[in-house]
Structure 1
């Protein structure tokens, strides 16, 4: 009886603490909303700032950390923190025990406690053994990762492995077509810099980059920093926020300065993926431009190709790579960040459809990193070997994404029934790690945070309306409440 009474008191205390956290939420949301009206601070940065301020204020008021975690949920960040995965579906240690992913990926330290699962550290140590073995292999073929890499694009052995991967999509490439980069963002910056330098060598301006909106906002600042003008095309909800062939044709005809089209094959933030026919139609537009003597490069961002349904990824990639007459115009950017939950490792690469274009871009790599870090290359190689030998890990990561997407959609639906927040909760293409939804009139990211404790990113961050919001399934699991 005494134990039952204590449990009741503990639950009542937690509820009181949660109410206090909600009051802090209300106070700070009001403060930051006022600040937004008088500041040029980007909304994405402000949302991150308010989450940090909320957590700090709750700590200073000595509120219960459990209540704080339940009432403040950061869904601004896309990346999955595998150390914080707590989902265990079915038997402990079974295929649905996602807590083990950090151990299976070699991220968890030996003996580290992962939400109740203690890591063995077996893969952590295995990766280091592989790095030693791979360094010896590279030395035997004449590549010393500890000295200056003159070409700065990485060792040919790893580039050859990645070329093999790209050939599985139907792209006939070799190591000569591949250049390594420190994640997809670094790769895109190097490509923009390189194409701009080539244009100047030919006494031309860098031109303009076409960016579909909503879209990944980092490339816009990169393009501007590298001397490009920005041409944004507003996509439509009826087209699932995807650039259509008609929109592309109209934009290119009206803007002869456009030299690059940036395309997320699976979209962040809108979560929808291009169908094969849609990609073929876009390529046809570029083909017609080429027939008129105009070459426009397509920068295809593959960051989320691999997070969705494999057969659908294969079909859309097959459509992209089949256009053999446009291979010198299409540039593919890939990384392990989202598909393999290895964001902090910064494993990325660029695949040029044309080897001559790849060779002409080397200067951009030399003038940025000067030489790819040797230890990083060895770890990249060790991870590549891990996934080649354990392909089931990719399937497990996909299943975790599936689980979290479904749970987030269900949670948003419950909140909408209670609070009337959304005009539409979009059902995505079972890809990416986000949800993209439309808010009711009068609601915005601030009001959603105040009412629910969930911090998302406003649509203006992605060149769209703030009536839309992006939530991530990344850092934290979705609450069952």
Structure 2
């Protein structure tokens, strides 16, 4: 990414020159965007994404070698993994650790498609379509026709039953009636916040406040404000690994009786730090204690990254989350296949409600949004669930890819730091999610990091924190250290 780090005596002179020109364009574009930063109301994440896009367009317009551009500009703002761009493999060609095959194994790659030198067989692609036919027959036999209007809007009972059964591995007992399907976890969160706000208005009350721990995923914050909630942000500390502690939660509930929802990411984006079972149990005990005093809150548990880390640790923390039965009826779990199975474009999400009566009441929020979930989408969702149930090794392979990329990215960041002295601290995280979270040295920011290294990250203010922190994703692009 820099002259001393990436140039090689054996590299073609033409490519070296092209890379120098890209670096010059990079510095020029960063200065231009930094100077115009005050003229835009765009959120930081959009500023960085637009900067990278403008830079890539500029390099293309100047006719630079695409390889030079790829080596000198790396977009690490977005978390999604594009399986079509995976190049990593460990061991023999086509062996068990050939991650390029994931596109074929997940049924994403088209038959005959080139996957970084590997030709997709199309076996996964065709299996999914055949399985969708079988799933439709099962639904019709059960009296559910996915091709007609679904009056409840929460999806078919067979898939909801399967997802409810999955919760038992974590000590959570649920039935199909307690599950609602959605177009991704974010869609489910939107519907939940909308539904809770509607219930409050029917009681002639304010929706109250949603407690968000910062740094944290900010999309639910925007949704909460849209539906009239007060945004109650709690800043966590590095000394406590950026986690909401039981003492902190108790203090804010005591001082803010209007808090009605606690949004809790069990494994955090952006920090990649996860709660321990004891920490989660302590938080739930606080919720129970305040419920006994008449201050009831719903806990909206975002499980998006449960499954990207070590399985035993994930199970233990989930059991910690469910360890206080007195608050089980206040729990709302939200999950998806987006991150754990790299299926962000498929939009497979669902919510599990701790209380059946509340779950049924929440259906009005589903009906008033999508009205009816797409039949074809439900069939594909079912086919994928069957695929992962029969082939759990796929999840372990995806975890392996994430571990590899996280390790390489941390190594790369340390190399950058040795050369440019960019970071005050590179957090090791809990070997989960697809991000790294680092504190910058005084005087450094996202712009200077991009200018010096060619790697674009997202500033901490995107997550309700400060811009002396930066998040990088291992997502779309492999980590290349040449």
Contact 1:75 1:471 in 2 (8 A): yes
Shift of 1:167: 1.2
Looking at structure 2, the residues matched to 277 and 202 of structure 1 have their Cα atoms a distance apart, in angstroms, of 36
Contact 2:281 2:322 in 1 (8 A): no
Shift of 1:142: 0.9
Q: Superposition pairs for residues 34-113 of structure 1, below 5 Å? A: 34-113=35-114
SS at match of 2:295: coil
Partner of residue 270, structure 1: 271
Looking at structure 1, the residues matched to 89 and 184 of structure 2 have their Cα atoms a distance apart, in angstroms, of 30
Contact 1:444 1:467 in 2 (8 A): yes
Q: Superposition pairs for residues 31-430 of structure 1, below 5 Å? A: 31-430=32-431
Decide whether aligned partners of structure 1 residues 436 and 166 sit closer, same or farther in structure 2, where only a CA change above 3 A counts. Answer: same
SS at match of 1:361: helix
SS at match of 2:359: helix
Looking at structure 1, the residues matched to 155 and 137 of structure 2 have their Cα atoms a distance apart, in angstroms, of 16
SS at match of 1:215: coil
Contact 1:279 1:319 in 2 (8 A): yes
Q: RMSD over aligned Cα, in angstroms?
A: 1.0
Shift of 1:8: 7.8
Partner of residue 4, structure 2: none
Please list the CA deviations of residues 42-92 of structure 1 after superposition, one character each: whole Å capped at 9, or x if unmatched.
Answer: 110000000000100000000000000000000000010000000011101
Looking at structure 2, the residues matched to 60 and 463 of structure 1 have their Cα atoms a distance apart, in angstroms, of 36
Please list the CA deviations of residues 182-228 of structure 1 after superposition, one character each: whole Å capped at 9, or x if unmatched.
Answer: 00000000000011111122222100100100010101100001111
Looking at structure 2, the residues matched to 205 and 469 of structure 1 have their Cα atoms a distance apart, in angstroms, of 35
Aligned length: 475
SS at match of 2:81: coil
SS at match of 2:12: helix
Shift of 1:140: 1.2
Structure 2 length normalisation: TM-score?
0.97
Shift of 1:243: 0.6
| Greater alpha carbon shift after TM alignment, 7-16 vs 395-404 | 7-16
Give structure 1 stretches of 5+ with no counterpart. 1-6
Partner of residue 451, structure 2: 450
Looking at structure 2, the residues matched to 415 and 244 of structure 1 have their Cα atoms a distance apart, in angstroms, of 33
Contact 1:108 1:124 in 2 (8 A): yes
Partner of residue 4, structure 1: none
Contact 1:171 1:322 in 2 (8 A): no
Please list the CA deviations of residues 148-168 of structure 1 after superposition, one character each: whole Å capped at 9, or x if unmatched.
Answer: 000000000000000110111
Partner of residue 432, structure 1: 433
Give structure 2 stretches of 5+ with no counterpart. 1-7
Partner of residue 3, structure 1: none
Shift of 1:95: 1.2
Looking at structure 2, the residues matched to 130 and 89 of structure 1 have their Cα atoms a distance apart, in angstroms, of 31
Partner of residue 3, structure 2: none
Looking at structure 1, the residues matched to 451 and 24 of structure 2 have their Cα atoms a distance apart, in angstroms, of 9
Contact 2:281 2:323 in 1 (8 A): no
Looking at structure 2, the residues matched to 171 and 162 of structure 1 have their Cα atoms a distance apart, in angstroms, of 11
Shift of 1:289: 0.7
Looking at structure 1, the residues matched to 470 and 291 of structure 2 have their Cα atoms a distance apart, in angstroms, of 37
Decide whether aligned partners of structure 1 residues 271 and 9 sit closer, same or farther in structure 2, where only a CA change above 3 A counts. Answer: closer
Looking at structure 2, the residues matched to 171 and 8 of structure 1 have their Cα atoms a distance apart, in angstroms, of 59
Structure 1 length normalisation: TM-score?
0.98
Looking at structure 2, the residues matched to 270 and 60 of structure 1 have their Cα atoms a distance apart, in angstroms, of 36
Partner of residue 12, structure 1: 13
Looking at structure 1, the residues matched to 43 and 321 of structure 2 have their Cα atoms a distance apart, in angstroms, of 34
Shift of 1:480: 2.1
SS at match of 1:166: helix
Please list the CA deviations of residues 399-421 of structure 1 after superposition, one character each: whole Å capped at 9, or x if unmatched.
Answer: 00000000000000011001100
Shift of 1:41: 1.6
Shift of 1:10: 6.6
Looking at structure 2, the residues matched to 402 and 9 of structure 1 have their Cα atoms a distance apart, in angstroms, of 31
Looking at structure 2, the residues matched to 462 and 173 of structure 1 have their Cα atoms a distance apart, in angstroms, of 32
Looking at structure 2, the residues matched to 301 and 77 of structure 1 have their Cα atoms a distance apart, in angstroms, of 19
Shift of 1:336: 0.2
